[in-house]
Structure 1
Amino acid sequence: MKYLALFCFFWGIVSISGCDKELKEHPLPESLKKELARKADPTIHINDVSGTILLDPKLNVSLNPSAGLFIFARPEGVDAGPPLAVKRHSIFKFPFEFEIGQLHTMIEGTQFEGIMNLTVRLDQDGNRKSSPGDIEGKIQITAGQKEVQLVLNNLISGDAYNIQGTVDVSVGLQNKIPENGTLFIFVRSEGVKRGPPLAVKRIPDIQFPYEFTLGTQDVMVPGTIFEGPMVLTARIDIDGDARAGPGDIEGFVGAQPGDRKVALLLNHLTP
């Protein structure tokens, strides 16, 4: 029994020494050390914003099992590009207590400060991109503000992603408009040159200027997400088969889902 106790004692010492040696041989990565030190900084939470997220009871919605709750912060006046800070929750229940701050900034070195617009999105498919069926809420806050109450009360509809505008023909090509031409309006994702368009609309018996709406209702493959950036194309087609041919008149313009008052000028004659 005595020898067994001595054996266990020495084995414990050897094990501890081995673990200590392994830690020395495999130190923590510098990036992890910096992150741990950053989180331990007592000043890091000074400008945190916290409060409660509520779901408007008037919205009778059911949650998708893959739904996610996203919280975005952007500086006042900034509506595009990456947010200043973002936080995602996959497990949540309303009312939901939240907190967002310096630890959640997307770009190292940026400061979570000043007046900001806070957006919360209940994203039904959990992919962070806004789409029909998602619910949003927005409020303006100041860094460091507490007891914020933000209500999810805006149900995103398919119409919110429609692109609307006017198609017209340049003065120099108006005498080239065929009598029985068909107008095609379609979009492709930016950078995509070939293959079926994302969405398309065919308009016979046209008169210019022509006011159009193109959106999720016009996608070629059901279930396809209507998202940008996109290139919007309009073509007056002589034979009506949608493929470009001699004598067709075309125009192009960049667009984003939800754009309004888009001006698409047909100013190119296909040779």
Structure 2
Amino acid sequence: MSWTEFYIVVSGLITLVLMLLAFPWLRRKNHAKADSLSNTQIVKQRLQELEREVKEGLITEHDMRVAVDELKVALVDESSFESTRTGTASIPLLVGGLVAVVAGVVVYASVNQFSQVQRASDAIVALPELSAQLASGNGSELGPEDVVNLALAIRQRLREAPEDDTGWLNLGRLMLSLGQEVQAIEAIDKAVALKPDNTPHQITLAQALMTTGDVNNLNRAQGVLSRLLQSTPENDNLALMMAVVSAQLGDLENLTRYYGQVKDKLPAGNDIGQRLAMREQELQALEGQVPNGQVLDVQKDGLVNNSLDDSSATQTPATENTSSAKTGFNITVNVSEQARSALPQSGFLIVFAQDANSENRMPAAVVKIPLQDFPVTIALDTDNAMMPQYTLDSLSKVTLTARVSADGDVSVSPGEWEGSQVIEVAPQNMKNINVTIEKELL
């Protein structure tokens, strides 16, 4: 609503309130006037009757004069009463009008939030300057208030032009910078929906999905990047992004393929390259050195050592890790009778830890091994982190989950089975934990 429209509406409301206040008073005044005219006519009629009665000899002249005097006194009293009763209403009208104006302004201001309206107006005015600063590469100089104002201005523009894909894309980037990941992805999704063939839009969507750390979002990002790489397989930037998201998901095949494409092109000592190389070695160890009937134990060097139990496929709980440098769990995984009969003949056992004190679904540690006889004991510690900066050492309480997957994909699929337990993390200590797989995922 513009300010002109606002003033027109307020003026109309004030006029309406004044009319409502004045109507009863005007109506009563008209009634009083009518009553006064009626009383005067009655007096005149009575005087005519008195004169007629004198002529007919019914009353004397003296009686007529007395009756006339009484009528005059009554008429004077009636006029005085009507004057008092129909006094001026200017003061009540003035007070009522002021109250109506104040109440209208207060209510309208509280409902429509004048400060926010003014802020939106200022943001729109500043939009060209902020957009130019952002486009010139000086976005880092924008303060938090500038970013919020820019996002607000873009929202206002999108209300008028909802088909502006660039506006939705910029809004998504700003929301991402403000830490509002859900709103950011929704905005970028709208930009992609408006122009599905726009490659930069899809790359921005993949980047936004990767920043969340959510397994479902990571799988979606991998799908977006996979489609882009089908059309431009030589794009090293896309290949590097694909290698990073594959490392987060524990997808050794894609990690090896796309990291191999770019590793010789990365600068020597590149941090991302080193992390990808370490993750590749870890996944290779997990995938290739754990035959059925063996116990997985991840040591400090990040490699996998196996111990074969020749007497039975049944494993015994692992002992406490003697290394004081590790934080983690020796998890003995077993299955319920119902789950045992429903499990696939081949597949993977995935064990992972997530922060129990937040909604972040990014695993702090993951181990995936080929499916084998239960129970089986797995060491899950800081060496199994998906990202070096996000490990079990950074958490106080975790949800430990053991899941049986037929395809080895970490995303949830109907028909899979899992079990979980919430446990406190003991820094620099390995806890012995039992987890029973007993719940079917629908």
Specify the structure having the higher radius of gyration (Cα). Answer: 2
**Higher strand proportion:** 1
Flag the structure with more relative contact order, 1 or 2, with Cα contacts below 8 A and sequence separation at least 6: 1
- Taking structure 1 as the reference length, the TM-score comes to 0.41
- Taking structure 2 as the reference length, the TM-score comes to 0.26
